[in-house]
Amino acid sequence: MYLIVGLGNVGEKYAHTRHNAGFDVMEKLAGKLGVSLRKRLLLKGMTAKAADGDREIILCEPTTYMNHSGECVKQLLRRYGCPPERLMVIYDDIDLAPGSIRIRKNGGAGTHNGMRSIIGCIGTQDFPRIRIGTGDRPAGADLVEWVLGRCEGEERERMEQAFDHAAESALVWVHSGINTAMNTGNRK
């Protein structure tokens, strides 16, 4: 069993904002795997169970809002009996150029509150992750307004390509491991 969690905030107000890059990737993955995410109150998230070849995969979008994502992830790990190395978290990163992705085997939360919550709740930072670059805000712009804003035009096209690439990289991880996913997936 593999768990793939995309981070974001619930509700139409936040749909397709930079901060919801993880949710956008989950939608791509659900489409590729032919499943639909459904609300699961006990797990505090929208989930879907899928099979890809001989691999079972749980997709999840936490419904706890970004800063409490760890509550959902902790429940998922407990419910499915998965070790953290079978967890992949996908989230936005303002320190990467728009449309770029970075895959890592483990690491800290950086400035991302959703990742801080997950690491705090599950007690380890030793789990794979895919960061989706959104770029930093323009000089003088408010950070919250920037990450909760929507991409348009060429920037949106780059982001859509990154979502597809991240979804494919997550499936490479499921079938071939994190090292192969990093070797084939990391791009600028």
**Is 165 known to be catalytic?**
no
Tell me the per-residue pLDDT of 102-116, one tens digit each, with 9 for 90 and over: 999 999 998 899 999
Q: What is the 3-state secondary structure (H, E, C) of the chain?
A: CEEEEECCCCCHHHCCEHHHHHHHHHHHHHHHHCCCCEEEHHHCEEEEEEEECCEEEEEEEECCCHHHHHHHHHHHHHHHCCCHHHEEEEEEECCCCCCCEEEECCCCCCCCHHHHHHHHHHCCCCCCEEEEECCCCCCCCCHHHHHCCECCHHHHHHHHHHHHHHHHHHHHHHHHCHHHHHHHHCEC
Q: What residues does each domain of the chain span?
A: 2-185
Residue 104 is predicted with a pLDDT of 97
Q: Which of 16, 19, 68, 175 is catalytic?
A: 19
CA–CA separation, 117 and 70 (whole Å): 5
State in words which class domain 2-185 has. Answer: alpha beta
Tell me the per-residue pLDDT of 33-67, one tens digit each, with 9 for 90 and over: 999 999 987 889 999 999 999 999 999 999 999 99
Kind of pairing between the strands at 129-133 and 87-93: parallel
Number of Cβ atoms within 10 Å of the Cβ of 34: 10
Structure pTM?
0.95
**Could you tell me which residues come within 8 angstroms of residue 164 by beta carbon, excluding any fewer than 6 positions away?**
28
Span 138-156, average pLDDT = 86
